Chains A and B, each alone.
Chain A
Amino acid sequence: MNDMVSTILIAIGVLFNLFGCIGLIRLPDVYNRLQSATKTVTLGTWSILIGVLVRYGFIDVGVKALIAIPILFFVATVAAHALVRGSYIFGIPLGKRSVKDDYKEQKTKP
């Protein structure tokens, strides 16, 4: 039973990671690509980690998988924020399909 649940969870995780990678290729600019790279890949990896926890239970492997979840939450979000802000300040323009840019006013201010 546990094996089946964990296999399903890991399969869902791999599927979401695949969607994230497809998004990385298909989406137009760096900002949209980061959207898919952070969200989809993070949830996919969480799902894999929970699958590992279900399979091994609360021994050292399972507990480490559980602890990796909050770490991944903070690392992925902070890295995405740093990359987005860095690429904006570096001067990479938003893609052609963008409709709004409120950050410009802030950036042009001294």
Chain B
Amino acid sequence: MKRYLALFILTLLFWLLITLSLSVANILTGMVAAAITTGLFGRYFVTRVGMFLEPRRYAWLLVYIFIFLWECIKANFDVAYRVLHPAMPIKPGIVKVQLGVQSDLAKTMLANSITMTPGTIAVDVIGDVMYVHWIYVSSEDPEVYSQKVSGRFEKYIKKIFE
């Protein structure tokens, strides 16, 4: 029940932010929309709602956003360089990466972060293993590329979402 309430509040906040008006009609419309969304998708929401009330997680999230943005900008210059270079220095392949996080939410966020960073797209997650398409497979050693692909984010993701 708690998770439905949390999702309802989040959706309503989101509605108020995108419409940016506090008239009664707008709030009522938002509540109807939030109720419908909650009814449809509430069962997919996070199980431990208490997570939202721990300020420590928000502090780490802030740190993580900056690290992530930096990696993301680097990734973009990297991909732009590979695209514009006449010989196109690419060496694509799908590699198998061992994950160090357990909860579903953490896995989702890690996969999303990996997709946004240097030349990698998460293809599939099966149990503890993630398959990642990599535009430049720089090493054949699983240890080395696990570190390169997911190692940078794992410790922050663990602190924020687990």
Instruction: Check B36 for interface membership: any CB of A closer than 8 A.
Output: no
* Minimum CB distance partner of B73 in chain A: A43
User: Are the C-beta atoms of B93 and A23 separated by less than 8 Å?
Assistant: no
A68 to chain B, nearest CB (A): 9
Interface size for chain A: under 10, 10 to 19, 20 to 34, or 35 or more residues?
Answer: 35 or more
User: Are the C-beta atoms of B123 and A103 separated by less than 8 Å?
Assistant: yes
User: Are the C-beta atoms of B20 and A64 separated by less than 8 Å?
Assistant: yes
User: Are the C-beta atoms of A35 and B95 separated by less than 8 Å?
Assistant: no
The contact of B20 among A19, A60, A99, by CB within 8 Å, is: A60
The contact of A81 among B80, B93, B111, by CB within 8 Å, is: B111
User: Are the C-beta atoms of B92 and A80 separated by less than 8 Å?
Assistant: no
CB within 8 Å of B: which residues of A? 16, 19-20, 22-23, 26-29, 31-32, 34-36, 38-40, 42-43, 59-60, 63-64, 67, 73-74, 76-78, 80-81, 84-85, 88, 94-95, 97-103, 106
Other than A20-B83, A77-B115, A106-B131, give 7 A-B pairs with Cβ distance below 8 A.
Answer: A16-B80, A27-B88, A31-B92, A39-B79, A76-B115, A99-B137, A102-B131
